[in-house]
Amino acid sequence: MKKEVQKKDIEAGYAAYVKPFTPKPPYLKNCLWAFFTGGSICTLAYLANNLLMEGGMEEKNAQTLVTVGIIMIAQLLTALGPFDTIAKTAGAGVIVPISGFANSMVAPAMEYKKEGIVLGAGAKLFTVAGPVLVCGITAATAAGVIYWIAGLF
Amino acid sequence: MADRKLGKQTVYFENGPFVAGGAAVVGRKEGEGPLSEWFDFRLKDDRYGEKTWEKAESKMLKEAMMLAMKKTGREKSDIDLVLSGDLLNQIMSSSFMARDLQLPFLGLYGACSTMTESLLLGAMLTKGGFAHNIVVGASSHFCTAERQFRMPVEHGNQRPPSAQWTATAAGAMVLSEKRSSIRVDCGTIGKVIDAGVKDANQMGSAMAPAAVDTILHHFADTGRSFADYDLVLTGDLGFVGKAIAADLLIDAGMDAGLVKSRYDDCGAMLYDRERQDVHSGGSGCGCSAAVFSGYILKRLQQGDLNRVLLLSTGAMLSTISPFQGESIPGIAHGVVLEVC
């Protein structure tokens, strides 16, 4: 008797079959771009930070100002359009720093504005950033609890 | 009543219905592609003077239908029925088009397979004597599909090379019992085929088995093969899906030379792969709708194509099904158009 083919066998077989047809993302190129763009953003931010401190600003204030500056630039670039074009090449280099967070807030805000300020932009503002925030905060809380328990002994 | 069933999945028509003509309206990027000159109207701005992307898509579909009526010398009052669909929730573009058009309307959802679905149903209704003139069509818009199925347009994410670009396009055809130069010869209704692909960035490989299944059933039902067609054209498998479908067809015993020379895909034709940065090619209802209603109809009318098998291919996923761990079911419906 012929053995009946299982659905998962078909799935696995087809996945293996289509693999050679499916182009892979250029991982190395993406990583290098992310390294250089992300690194450049951080270097420039540090430069700005040092210049502000040399000008007499307190370290805490300088750091906040630089962070806000990056957010502002990212928001502006998103609103005017070039951010997604830059991110196409730069990838994680601009997504992982706080510029990516700014983009993930402004993009839905622009997109859902047409459905109203409250039920459109208001409701959808965190569609991209929301899951990251929830999981990030949960993970941070868990780590904090573990750290606290470990400190008891 | 004559039996119009052929084999398992195919219906055939004799002596009509006829495709009186059609029209295609495309967005800016599509208008800069290799098929540009075959489209009837190319938008300069994808917003099309509307406040929202959804309304712009709806207007494109309406314009394609109005143009198709105008080109075939028909008034709105000559049309008995409109059949159309799109990708949006509750087929918003089509419903809102029908609100403006004020004609009897049946909305369809077949994801990106909607063009041949509407064509096939329209042909059956015309042949059955339920309507004299039917307008069929489908539309999609990059910005409406993107925000519904993926991310906000301005979000800076990296698309993998297997991802496809939803075409901003609409196509419409006028079907009629009145004789014209193109007739609908037969059609094959597809089954939903799921090969287990879960990645929404691999639509081509998800839909290719459905397209191949319908093509093979079509050949089995009609006793035809690739040699009987000048062109077999799938809807939106893109470059990746096209290569897979061609390989599967050859594997199923089709002549490799004929598959190479006579099989193509609208998603692989709509954009310039090198110049337009669309990764694996076009997708969306409008992709096949515009290529069939613009390019293919004109080539049939000019007489450089004689008989074609058109298959719009649809990925029947919903906005929530991938999150529930479901794979992407595919479907393809085939329609044969022939010069007479």
Place of tokens 């007479």: B340
Note whether A103 contacts B: Cβ–Cβ < 8 A. Answer: yes
The whole-number pLDDT of residue B18 equals 97
- Secondary structure element (H or E) that encloses residue B238, with its range: helix B238-251
3.40.47.40, 3.40.1800.10, 3.40.50.720, 3.40.50.360: CATH of B182-339:
3.40.47.40
Mean pLDDT value across residues B321-327? 93
CB B263 within 8 A of CB B340: no
- What whole-number distance in Å separates Cα of residue B235 and Cα of residue A151? 62
Query: How far off is chain A from B268, nearest CA to CA, in Å?
Result: 15
Q: Measured between alpha carbons, how far is B163 from B155 in angstroms, rounded to an integer?
A: 16
Structure tokens belonging to residue B19: 């495709």
The count of C-alpha atoms lying within 13 angstroms of the C-alpha of B144, restricted to the half-sphere facing its C-beta, is: 28
Q: Which pair of tokens denotes residue B325?
A: 């761990």
pLDDT score of B1: 66
ipTM, two decimals, is 0.86
Structure tokens at B297: 């109809």
My answer on whether omega of the bond before B152 falls inside 30° of 0, hence cis, is no
For residue range A78-128, what is the model confidence (pLDDT) as tens digits?
999 999 899 999 999 999 889 999 999 999 999 999 999 999 999 989 988
Q: Which residues in chain B (250-289) have CB-CB distances under 8 A to chain A?
A: 280
Q: What is the pLDDT of residues B251-305, one digit of tens each?
A: 999 999 999 999 999 999 999 999 998 999 999 999 999 999 999 999 999 999 9
Nearest to B215 by CA among B205, B230, B225: B225
Q: Phi/psi at B190 (nearest 5 deg)?
A: -85, 160
d(CA B83, CA B90): 15
Asked if B152 and A110 come within 8 Å (Cβ–Cβ), the reply is yes
CB contact under 8 A, A78 and B156: yes
DSSP conformation letters of B160-177: PTT--EE--EEEEEEEES
Residues of B in contact with A10 (CB under 8 A): 195-196
Higher local confidence (pLDDT), A136 or B152? A136
Whether the Cβ atoms of residue B149 and residue B140 lie closer than 8 Å to each other: no
- Cβ contacts of B162 on chain A, cutoff 8 Å: 22-23
> Is residue B184 helix, strand or coil?
strand
Interface of B with A in 104-123 (CB under 8 A): none
Residue to test with chain B: of A6, A8, A18, A125, most B Cβ within 10 A:
A18
Architecture of the CATH domain B15-176: 3-Layer(aba) Sandwich (3.40)
pLDDT, one tens digit per residue, over A19-57 is 999 999 999 999 999 999 999 999 999 999 999 999 999
Q: What pLDDT score does B155 carry?
A: 86
CA dihedral B265, B271, B274, B276 (to 10 degrees): -150
- In which band, very low, low, confident or very high, does the pLDDT at B2 lie, cut at 50, 70 and 90? confident
At B8-21, the pLDDT tens digits run: 999 999 888 999 99
Mean model confidence pLDDT for chain B: 95
**Contacts of residue A27, Cβ cutoff 8 Å, sequence gap at least 6:** none
Q: Output the pLDDT for position B150.
A: 85
Domain regions of chain A by residue span: 25-107, 112-153
| H or E element at residue B283 | strand B282-283
Percent over 70 (pLDDT), chain B: 100
Question: Could you tell me which chain A residue has the CA closest to the CA of B159?
Answer: A88
Is residue B44 within 8 angstroms of chain A, CB to CB?
no
- pLDDT-derived band at A2 (thresholds 50, 70, 90) equals low
Binary contact (B161, A24; C-beta < 8 A) = yes
* Contact (CB, 8 A) for B110 and B312: yes
Q: Contact B154/A81, CB-based, under 8 Å? A: yes
**How high is the pLDDT of residue B152?**
85
Say whether A5 sits in a helix, a strand or coil: coil
Q: What local confidence, expressed as pLDDT, does residue B166 receive?
A: 95
Of the residues B158, B193, B240, the best mutation for testing chain A's interface (the one with the most A CB atoms within 10 Å of its CB) is B158
Give CA–CA dist B120/B186, Å, rounded: 8
| pLDDT higher than threshold 60 for residue A1 | no
Residue ranges per structural domain of chain B? 15-176, 182-339
Residues of B in contact with A114 (CB under 8 A): 51-52
Q: Do B162 and A91 touch (CB under 8 A)?
A: no
Confidence of residue A8 (pLDDT cuts 50, 70, 90): confident
pLDDT one-digit tens code per residue, B85-138: 999 999 999 999 999 999 999 999 999 999 999 999 999 999 999 999 999 999
Give the closest-approach CA distance of B324 to chain A in angstroms.
16
Interface size A-B, in CB pairs within 8 Å, comes to 90
Chain B CB contacts of A26 below 8 Å: 161
Query: Quick one: average pLDDT of B20-36?
Result: 96
Note the pLDDT of residue B20: 97
